[in-house]
Amino acid sequence: MAGKTIFDKIWDAHVVEQIEDGPSVVYIDQHLIHEVTSPQAFAGLDARGLKVFRTNRTVATPDHNVPTIDQDKPIRDELSRFQVDKLTENCQKHGVTLYGLNHPYQGIVHVVGPQLGITQPGMTIVCGDSHTSTHGAFGSVAFGIGTSEVEMVLATQCLMQSKAKRMRITVDGELGEGVGAKDIILYIISKITASGGTGYFVEYAGSAFRNLTMEGRMTVCNMSIEMGARGGLIAPDDTTFEYIRGREFAPKGADFDAAVAKWRELYTDADAVFDAELHFDAADIEPMITYGTNPGMGIKITANVPALSEIEESNRTSFAKSLDYMGLVPGERLLGKTVDYVFVGSCTNGRIEDLRAVAEFVKGKQKADNITAWIVPGSKQVEKQAQEEGLVAIFEAAGFQLRQPGCSACLGMNEDKIPKGKYAVSTSNRNFEGRQGPGARTMLASPITAAAVAVTGKIVDPRDL
């Protein structure tokens, strides 16, 4: 009998019931909720006279459409105010822990969970948000669910779900100068397309991932969904355990040691079989940037936009439509192209490590006159760290605008929108049409590349600065 993958081990340990010729009933260790996908779920509970089954397994925080200025004042946008108020009302009514606006733990749900030690190896974690895959960086099975499934988990702490196929993506070798986690995942998606992981749960393996920090691993797993995968995970190791040690809700003392001993069993057996295996060489990866309207439309920053002849005939119509939206032409060189906005933030790259990297790059420099630069911390804790470490002073001296925590311009659900026709180099995760505002033109890149663009006002190779 073949060994098991880490995904199999975690999944199988959480199956409460296997329905014949149907999905599994899976126990969920941790449920994270926010203001956008939970109101309907709570309304469903109320309509059936149900309570939240395990309140100690549910944590809430508003993030998607909260304002990022004047958070101490009443929310002006009517829908945002309604949803945030409804989240508060529902959490109070059902006894769910809420880190509301201005709470020291408030922030993007996928930043809050890891930094508080709520996210731990071996867990099953769900949230009504596709980027729940972020938590897989800790060796957990984490994925996004829909609103009706949010209601199911609130009511039962279980979820009916079909088991995904298993894919392993291995990247070995040393990363080059100026290349980081965001470049790795953009490179992979550019190779396998935005649908290349559909139907799979991905395990990332190899020295390139093992050498990443936990923040970097979160960036990689966060964007698993952008290749169509159900989720992605990385086997926990000493880097994982040291990140968790001492965090607010992590086990302490002897309990922590016992937990680590258990977590060390979370690895893929040598003889385990995957449904698909992909291998890449880290030396082939360079700073990346997207040119189109899905994350798979990415290139090395020194490359040109593909010529029409390089695109499969069946994809040429959508390719041309995408370039038309972006105001680009086939074969165009992106280096030197003028940009209008730089956005550093989101659940992909809004952590303290990302802000440190940008601050180190821009220290002593000024943003270009044509650039509007927004720095949006992923959480109140990140914001506090940035202030204590002097990063805020660096950003302000460089002409960057530091905003308050939230999803912000990643998805433009609040007032942080990129104007129509303007180009934004963004550290977020999606470059869909209108994602950052109606008509906005998004180019995804790493924090270092975003910093380089901010100070030059144009697309540049950060290795040249």
**pLDDT tens for the 465 residues of the chain, in order:** 789 999 999 999 999 999 999 999 999 999 999 999 999 999 999 999 999 999 999 999 999 999 999 999 999 999 999 999 999 999 999 999 999 999 999 999 999 999 999 999 999 999 999 999 999 999 999 999 999 999 999 999 999 999 999 999 999 999 999 999 999 999 999 999 999 999 999 999 999 999 999 999 999 999 999 999 999 999 999 999 999 999 999 999 999 999 999 999 999 999 999 999 999 999 999 999 999 999 999 999 999 999 999 999 999 999 999 999 999 999 999 999 999 999 999 999 999 999 999 999 999 999 999 999 999 999 999 999 999 999 999 999 999 999 999 999 999 888 899 999 999 999 999 999 999 999 999 999 999 999 999 999 999 999 999
Distance of CA 200 to the CA centre of its chain: 18
Residue ranges covered by each domain of the chain? 6-161, 288-459
Q: Which CATH superfamily is domain 6-161 in?
A: Aconitase, domain 3 (3.30.499.10)
* Residues that constitute the known binding site for [4Fe-4S] cluster: 347, 407, 410
List the binding residues: 347, 407, 410
Domains 6-161 and 288-459 equal at CATH topology level: yes
Helices (H), 248-376: 253-263, 316-326, 346-349, 352-362
- What CATH number has the domain spanning 288-459? 3.30.499.10
Asked whether the beta carbons of 396 and 424 are under 8 A apart, the reply is no
The whole-number pLDDT of residue 420 equals 98
Amino acid at position 91, single letter: C
The predicted structure's pLDDT at residue 426: 98
Tell me, yes or no, if the pTM score tops 0.95: yes
Count the Cβ atoms, other than its own, within 10 Å of residue 237: 15
Residue 1: predicted pLDDT: 75
The pLDDT value given to residue 457 = 98
pLDDT for position 208: 98
> Which has the closest alpha carbon to 372: 329, 326, 338?
338
**How many CB atoms within 10 Å of residue 129?**
25
CB burial readout 25-57, b (16+ within 10 A) else e: bbbbbbbbbbbbbbbebbebbeeeeeebeeeeb
Pairing of strands 288-290, 298-300: antiparallel
- As given in the structure block, the two tokens for residue 114 are 């890891």
* Four-CA torsion 363, 368, 372, 377, nearest 10 degrees: -10
